[in-house]
A and B are shown apart, each in its own frame.
Chain A
Amino acid sequence: MSVFQKTGPLSVLHAFMDASRWRASADKEASVHNDMISLYVLETGGCEGCAMEVESLCGSAFALDRYGFRRVADPADADWLLVTGAMSRACVQMLERVWNAMPPGKSLVAVGACAVDGGVFGSGYATIGGLRALTQVRRSIPGCPPSPQDILLGLQRLAGR
């Protein structure tokens, strides 16, 4: 039985100490990396499934930093741009804006089937059909949507780790 009560004044302290126990991913074996890769995430008009799974990966259920990645809120701080969604025509300007704000040496990663070629949405009057319509997609992570574990494995593979 826990020495901390589940509810009442000590419960917040209990919750704080409990946070890592509830962590779902078995990431205690991950090695610590000094060369962090900064990720900026951009959703471009899909069902948001991939964006929500990236969100899960970047949350506290996974120790992303232990694998050598961190999420940043400003594209000017980013090394890799993670794109999710089918790329609506209206989002192309946003993609250009974010891409141009990133420093040199940047990379583009398509996360999920839609980001590669539009997935189930394909191309039409409102969508261009993924990044493939704009550029050669060299880095991608398949899935519809890929799980956070799949995305993490994909990122590690792309980073050569």
Chain B
Amino acid sequence: MSDMGKVIRSGERVALSHYSLDAEQWEAMLAAPGATLPLLSCWADEHRVYVLLLKGDCPLMASTAVEDRRYLAPSSRFPAAEWGERVAYDLWGVEAMGASGEGQPALDEGVWEATWPLSSRPGPGGQAARPVPGRTVLPAEKSGLTGPLELSFDVVRGRVQAVSVNAGLAHRGVLHRMIGLTPEEALPLVSRMTAGGFVAHPVAFCRAVAQARGLQPGPGVRDCWMILLEIERMSVHLFDMARTARAVDAGLLATHCEHAREAIAFACAEQGVSRRLTDLVRCDGFRAGLEIVPLAQAVVSAMQPRMAQLRELQSVFAPRLKGLAVLTPTQAREFAVGGLVGRASGRSLDVRRREAGMRLDALRSTGSSEGDGAARDALRLNEIRDSLALIQRILGSIGMDDDEPAPEATQEGIGAAEGARGDIWYWVRLRHGKIEAVQARDPAVSLLSVLPDILKGELPEGLPAALRSLALSPSGVAM
């Protein structure tokens, strides 16, 4: 075990993967010699600060008390923790000591009715932030994304430098709304967290709730969730490919991706479910009446005949995406960027591989280390191929039992799902059957921390294409 892992496990175990550390242990964790464990998420409220890490392919969580509204900054060791620290300050007014960043607001644009709105001592609302003179601004409505995200940057010799990201436009305070609800009552909110994860967010949440309750979804539910996740993956990959293709004038590729995505939606509607698979996942399984086998068969039939042509068109237009928005393998590792973007940059994390009952032989795509727009697009198509294979493998042995034991009920759980855009994680703590605390981690968050590095050196007019290729979702970032 790594030294950091040892330090964490020296704390008090309060749940399956959660250790409570005292101030000394927390400091020792941040200064532990040896490798730094990949950070999935960092968050804090008025009482505690948390880090969710990855040890091998398993989650490992540590927390410590916030004292006098301050805590020792995880970003001093984990660069990607900076976003969570800034969010915690904006929402709760708790301060990270020794933070690595400049402490700019993350969500609070100065237009909220109160400062630190979730704090027990909120202050009066602030003033709207004024743009810094001399900086070029890419306003949210021109970013090329489907959600609001604003960039400001300098232009040096015609190239983008020193990018700042304003992601607070999309913040809705969803997690706060879930507090005090039962998981079942909160599910409609989780199901609308972000449109790229209409299935993946609820699956990750329901897995966390099941763990907290000491339950293990049965093989039938497990396979149904897996199939829904793969259908969503194909649909979202096609959307992201189409949008990227439009941005580089590859209209023919975009056209075929759009038609294929629409064919999937049509197949879903024909089978009596919503086009984008909304509201199908339930805490105890799936919506009554869902016939997963004919749904899966209809989607495979709609998609399979289109693959050869999509492959050909993708290779024809790939040169237009060469060198676009490069994420290097080093950056992907340092910022723990997962999902498709991470896999196209040499990081192999795919949480599907740790799932009980996964038909691993269907997951053939090996990723890439190129890290540019072309690598991401090629990988999207490979993953669609794998999704089709995986669905067919599952259909061949649906409901196969693997005797996975149920965890001990600790009222706390961590759940994950590999969404189309990356690994989604939920942590929930229940009290008397209701949500006492919750945190969600969308893959867009890890991308946000490294975005200025990725976009550095791009042409200003190329930014929308770059953002589309990365498939950054503002609703996932800000929640």
How many A-B residue pairs lie within 8 Å, measured between CB atoms?
175
Q: What's the least CB distance linking A46 to chain B, in Å?
A: 7
Q: Which of B172, B239, B308 gathers most chain A CB within 10 Å? A: B172
Task: Determine whether the beta carbon of A120 is less than 8 Å from that of B188.
Answer: yes
Task: Determine whether the beta carbon of A145 is less than 8 Å from that of B195.
Answer: yes
Task: Determine whether the beta carbon of B146 is less than 8 Å from that of A55.
Answer: yes
Task: Determine whether the beta carbon of B111 is less than 8 Å from that of A90.
Answer: yes
Tell me which residues across on chain A come within 8 A of B174, comparing CB atoms. 121
Interface residues of B, CB < 8 Å — how many?
A: 63
Over the window 68-108 of chain A, the binary record of Cβ atoms lying under 8 Å from chain B Cβ atoms (1 yes, 0 no) is 00000000000000000110111111100110000000000
Task: Determine whether the beta carbon of A47 is less than 8 Å from that of B256.
Answer: no
Q: What's the least CB distance linking A107 to chain B, in Å?
A: 18
Q: What's the least CB distance linking B380 to chain A, in Å?
A: 16
Contact of B148 (CB < 8 Å), options: A7, A45, A121, A147? A45
Contact of B172 (CB < 8 Å), options: A15, A22, A45, A62? A45
Tell me which residues across on chain A come within 8 A of B69, comparing CB atoms. none
Q: What's the least CB distance linking B311 to chain A, in Å?
A: 8
Tell me which residues across on chain B come within 8 A of A97, comparing CB atoms. 139, 141
Over the window 1-40 of chain A, the binary record of Cβ atoms lying under 8 Å from chain B Cβ atoms (1 yes, 0 no) is 0000011100110111011001111000000000000000
Q: Which of A8, A11, A60, A147 gathers most chain B CB within 10 Å? A: A60
Is B70's CB within 8 Å of the partner chain A?
A: no
Q: How far is the CA of A19 from the CA of B239 in the complex (A)?
A: 16
Q: What's the least CB distance linking A53 to chain B, in Å?
A: 8
Task: Determine whether the beta carbon of B189 is less than 8 Å from that of A147.
Answer: no
Tell me which residues across on chain A come within 8 A of B151, comparing CB atoms. none
Is B77's CB within 8 Å of the partner chain A?
A: no
Task: Determine whether the beta carbon of A93 is less than 8 Å from that of B128.
Answer: yes
Contact of A56 (CB < 8 Å), options: B139, B262, B473, B474? B262
The answer to whether residues A52 and B239 also contact, given A6-B309, A22-B306, A125-B112 and a CB cut-off of 8 A, is yes
Is B48's CB within 8 Å of the partner chain A?
A: no
Task: Determine whether the beta carbon of A61 is less than 8 Å from that of B262.
Answer: yes
Q: How far is the CA of A48 from the CA of B260 in the complex (A)?
A: 20
Is B59's CB within 8 Å of the partner chain A?
A: no
Task: Determine whether the beta carbon of A56 is less than 8 Å from that of B107.
Answer: no
Tell me which residues across on chain B come within 8 A of A142, comparing CB atoms. none
Task: Determine whether the beta carbon of B111 is less than 8 Å from that of A92.
Answer: yes
Is B426's CB within 8 Å of the partner chain A?
A: no
The secondary structure that dominates the B interface is helix
Task: Determine whether the beta carbon of A88 is less than 8 Å from that of B262.
Answer: no
Contact of A60 (CB < 8 Å), options: B111, B140, B255, B313? B255
Is A158's CB within 8 Å of the partner chain B?
A: no
Q: How far is the CA of A19 from the CA of B251 in the complex (A)?
A: 11
Is A144's CB within 8 Å of the partner chain B?
A: yes
Task: Determine whether the beta carbon of A19 is less than 8 Å from that of B173.
Answer: no
Task: Determine whether the beta carbon of A88 is less than 8 Å from that of B309.
Answer: no
Q: What's the least CB distance linking A20 to chain B, in Å?
A: 9
Residue of B nearest to A119 (CB): B192
Over the window 460-479 of chain B, the binary record of Cβ atoms lying under 8 Å from chain A Cβ atoms (1 yes, 0 no) is 00000000000001110010
Q: What's the least CB distance linking A105 to chain B, in Å?
A: 21
The answer to whether residues A89 and B252 also contact, given A18-B309, A126-B171, A144-B278 and a CB cut-off of 8 A, is no
Q: Which of B292-335 contact A (CB under 8 A)?
A: 306, 308-309, 311-313, 316
Task: Determine whether the beta carbon of A15 is less than 8 Å from that of B312.
Answer: yes
Task: Determine whether the beta carbon of B195 is less than 8 Å from that of A24.
Answer: no
Residue of B nearest to A62 (CB): B262
Q: How far is the CA of A127 from the CA of B169 in the complex (A)?
A: 10
Tell me which residues across on chain B come within 8 A of A18, comparing CB atoms. 256, 309
The answer to whether residues A125 and B278 also contact, given A47-B192, A56-B262 and a CB cut-off of 8 A, is no
Tell me which residues across on chain B come within 8 A of A22, comparing CB atoms. 256, 259-260, 263, 306
Task: Determine whether the beta carbon of A126 is less than 8 Å from that of B254.
Answer: no
Residue of B nearest to A89 (CB): B111
Residue of B nearest to A47 (CB): B192
Q: How far is the CA of A6 from the CA of B141 in the complex (A)?
A: 39
Is B196's CB within 8 Å of the partner chain A?
A: yes
By Cβ-Cβ distance, the 7 closest A-B pairs, closest first, are A125-B117, A22-B259, A49-B195, A61-B262, A24-B262, A59-B258, A90-B109
Q: 15 other contacts beyond A48-B475, A56-B262, with CB at 8 A cut-off? A: A7-B312, A22-B256, A24-B265, A45-B171, A46-B147, A46-B172, A85-B148, A88-B171, A90-B148, A94-B141, A120-B188, A120-B192, A124-B173, A144-B278, A148-B262
For this complex, 10 residue pairs linking A to B, each with C-beta atoms less than 8 Å apart, are: A42-B141, A45-B147, A45-B171, A46-B172, A48-B146, A51-B146, A90-B171, A94-B148, A119-B192, A144-B278
